Amino acid sequence: MDHNTTFVYRYSAKENKEIQEIRKKYLPKEESKLDELKRLDGKVQNSGVIEALCVGIIGCLIFGTGMCLTMQVIGSGALLITLGVIVGLIGMGVMLAAYPIYRRMFAKAKEKYAPRILELTEELSGEKI
């Protein structure tokens, strides 16, 4: 009897890990309940930020234009100083409107996502809210 059979075994943990990482990129992503909870919470927390920033920046630009007119950087004369004060006050009003815009949008998002967030927290924590 001839026993010339050989067994070849190759194993590389590094290669296997790399293969699994590449494979993971192409598998369909399944979102866990905790991931969904984090995503929804992030949506609520970040809602209204961009809109409020845009309104605030526009208000700052209007206010700055009013300051330039008042300090006679742009033009000169009593009429432009008066116009600059009025434009500056309008800019202040626009800047002051940014926070209520943020709060309103935050409240809408909170109202929209609250039932699902509470449902997920109840499922994940096991506590009845």
pTM of the full predicted structure? Answer: 0.67
Q: How far is CA 12 from CA 6, 18, 20, 26, 82, in A?
A: 20, 10, 12, 22, 79
Q: What is the CB neighbour count within 10 angstroms for residue 108?
A: 13
Query: pLDDT tens, position by position, for the chain (129 residues)?
Result: 566 777 666 667 777 888 888 888 888 888 788 888 899 999 999 998 999 999 999 999 999 999 999 998 887 888 999 999 999 999 999 999 999 999 999 999 999 999 998 888 888 887 765
